[in-house]
A and B are shown apart, each in its own frame.
Chain A
């Protein structure tokens, strides 16, 4: 049986034994480490972890040091998912053959990747792992940019964001394409469980992660990870930015079970919903949108977020 942690409050959470050490090279204010801790802290079971090349990987396993007090592997940029799938296959094989060193354990297989590693270069590998329904969890640390390499656009970068390969300029408002709907695509693999999470709503997140761990088969998690460096906000404001993301409904929190049953898991009260404009205004990457010539994009942003929220509500209601 899976052994899930019972964590009642933030104090308990912050003092809980940690298999991801604070000694790492991530930027102050980086949400990655918060998300990773929330995922790892959801269980007492043994872990087999992978990271794709990216911020998390280069900041936590620089020889001769490691921040990981759990089995961990990095291969390349695109194949963290398949690394864990291979390990999971070996676990099954050795279990069948009676060769596990600790046969009484119930390990969890988890791969982390940034949005570049997941939405772009590793997309096919993740799709393969989801389609084959390995007993694993894939977690996207979604900061909407190639942050490790200095802020290039990915297919998760939203419209109007200034990235180094889609910079805003005298005739450009930056990124011209809207963010890829990764949750929709992954859920369409009809995997048992997919969920979008945010580190500020940690109880919601832990609940979903535990649900994922209790699920037999492939689990996809998309975690919003505000990036102080590339979104351009003060490192002390990470949680404030995350609040703006979830409360403006730019990052709605929901889950999709078996590819069809959609549940919205966080529904701010009408009066508490933050205008998208506030979310955009808090980040340097959208600063240029507040020039007169681009203000129409802010309006379009709000319309898009409203439409998506309405869509999710219709999906939830329709149960299809």
Chain B
């Protein structure tokens, strides 16, 4: 029985979860192997309903844990077809072992992570602890700031991940609840146009090609392991960024929506800038515009591609900026935040005199308000005027109790 196509309006009112589910449907994924967890559950529920209503022709395997979900994805991807799943937080933590296995085996898989805090204490709300936890797992990581982007980036993720020169799995992040459960207008593609962007899956080293038996997931020790890992990293550093840019370009031609590895807002002449991810990017943009009205030349950089980290683009964008704040939405656990470290690394051996300060915010879904950002930009301008960081390098935004500041 052939599957049915779905008629969509040009603009649908979708939350991030449903937007991602629709993208998976339109990509005609061959196998979804999944396990539900808040707040990503509606992605797999939405997909299940598509399957029940004959909008999906592929297999949908509801397994018994997130570890099994990714294990099933790996087996399915090695068999040779388009594969996707979704998870959050604790589910991702349980899945973590298999993420390294998937990337080490060079299997194209798309994983939607609806970002959520990690226990303990147990918390279902959005922060980036889960995203950060798997940052060295060898997966490409995209970050969506809103439902539209959660939709679009799934197509781009398949396109890049499945490229035979890449063969590396990809994550599409979106903020738990703030994106996943917030309905907005989403510009859609019709089913044929959407599928034409990703195209028919082209298998490579597929286990279902019985004329060419393959062995997946071998053992290597000190004799070969390093070469495999170095090659994997090399491809992330040298091949993947170009493929991502090409996919962004092609997607822009198709839809008019142009993505970039870093999304710059008012950065051309900015004296002070905030670098952040997720829904905070939109809040920061709004506050930056208001700061400009007050005479502070404020800009925003949103990290669209978290892995491979766009070091060169960051260095170029920040080279003339006087004071920069790195906003990290993850408990740092005894170090500066990840964005702080990577921005510092991007500019360390350059001529930049940029002043960098780090802020931890929004843990467990705590709001980042416009007021917080006004204060932050004001602090950055004071640093810029003084020519030095006047505060300690690491501060916490919006946490109750005595002020926390370190370094």
Contact = CB atoms under 8 A, between A and B. Distances in A.
Given A48-B79, A76-B101, A83 B64 contact: no
A91 B31 CA distance: 10
B59 A61 contact: no
Interface in B50-68: 57-59, 61-65, 67-68
Interface in B65-84: 65, 67-68, 71-81, 83
Contacts of A90: 30-31, 59, 75-77, 79-81, 83, 208
B84 to A, nearest CB: 12
Nearest to B101: A75
A102 B209 contact: yes
Interface stretch (A62-70, A178-186, A187-195, A208-216): A62-70
Contacts of B215: 61, 66, 68, 72-73
Contacts of B219: 57-58, 61-63, 74
A71 interface: yes
B31 A89 contact: yes
B57 A97 contact: yes
A82 B210 contact: no
A61 B217 contact: yes
Contact of A83 (B59, B75, B83): B75
A101 interface: yes
A74 B59 contact: no
A93 interface: yes
A90 B213 CA distance: 16
Contacts of A125: 64-65, 67-68, 71
Given A71-B210, A132-B61, A79 B71 contact: yes
Interface residues of B, number: 46
Contacts of B78: 73, 83, 86-87
Interface string B211-223: 1011111111000
A229 to B, nearest CB: 19
Contacts of A275: none
Interface string B129-160: 00000000000000000000000000000000
Contact of B72 (A71, A74, A85): A85
Given A61-B217, A69-B213, A93-B30, A76 B71 contact: yes
Contacts of A92: 59
A72 B74 CA distance: 13
A197 interface: no
Contacts of B57: 93, 96-97
B98 interface: yes
B385 interface: no
A69 B74 CA distance: 21
Nearest to A71: B207
Contact of B218 (A66, A76, A127): A66
B208 A74 contact: no
B276 to A, nearest CB: 35
Interface residues of A, number: 48
Interface string B33-44: 100000000000
B26 to A, nearest CB: 15
A37 to B, nearest CB: 16
Contacts of B62: 132
A91 B61 contact: no
A63 B224 contact: yes
Contacts of A78: 67, 71
Contacts of B65: 124-125, 128
Contacts of A75: 71, 74-75, 98, 101, 105, 217
B97 interface: yes
Interface in B87-135: 97-98, 101, 105
Contacts of A91: 79, 208
Interface in A84-140: 84-94, 96-97, 99-102, 105, 107, 124-125, 127-128, 131-132
A124 B217 contact: no
B213 A101 contact: no
A316 interface: no
B59 A124 contact: no
A124 B73 CA distance: 17
A50 interface: yes
A53 B220 CA distance: 13
B72 to A, nearest CB: 4
B146 to A, nearest CB: 31
A93 B31 contact: yes
A265 B214 CA distance: 36
A46 interface: yes
B379 to A, nearest CB: 47
A264 B127 CA distance: 57
Contacts of A94: 30, 79-81, 208
Of the candidates A62, A69, A75, the one having the most CB atoms from chain B within 10 angstroms of its own CB is A75
30 contacts: A48-B79, A61-B215, A68-B213, A71-B208, A71-B213, A72-B214, A73-B216, A74-B219, A75-B101, A78-B71, A82-B71, A83-B71, A86-B33, A88-B75, A89-B33, A90-B59, A90-B75, A90-B81, A93-B30, A93-B57, A96-B57, A99-B201, A101-B203, A101-B206, A102-B210, A125-B64, A125-B65, A128-B64, A128-B68, A132-B62
Q: Across chains A and B, which 9 residue pairs bring their CB atoms closest together, nearest first?
A: A86-B75, A90-B79, A79-B71, A128-B64, A71-B207, A86-B72, A74-B217, A83-B75, A86-B76
Given A73-B74, A76-B98, A78-B67, 19 more contacts: A57-B219, A61-B217, A62-B218, A68-B213, A72-B214, A73-B215, A76-B97, A79-B74, A82-B71, A86-B33, A86-B73, A86-B77, A90-B76, A91-B208, A93-B30, A97-B58, A99-B201, A101-B208, A127-B64
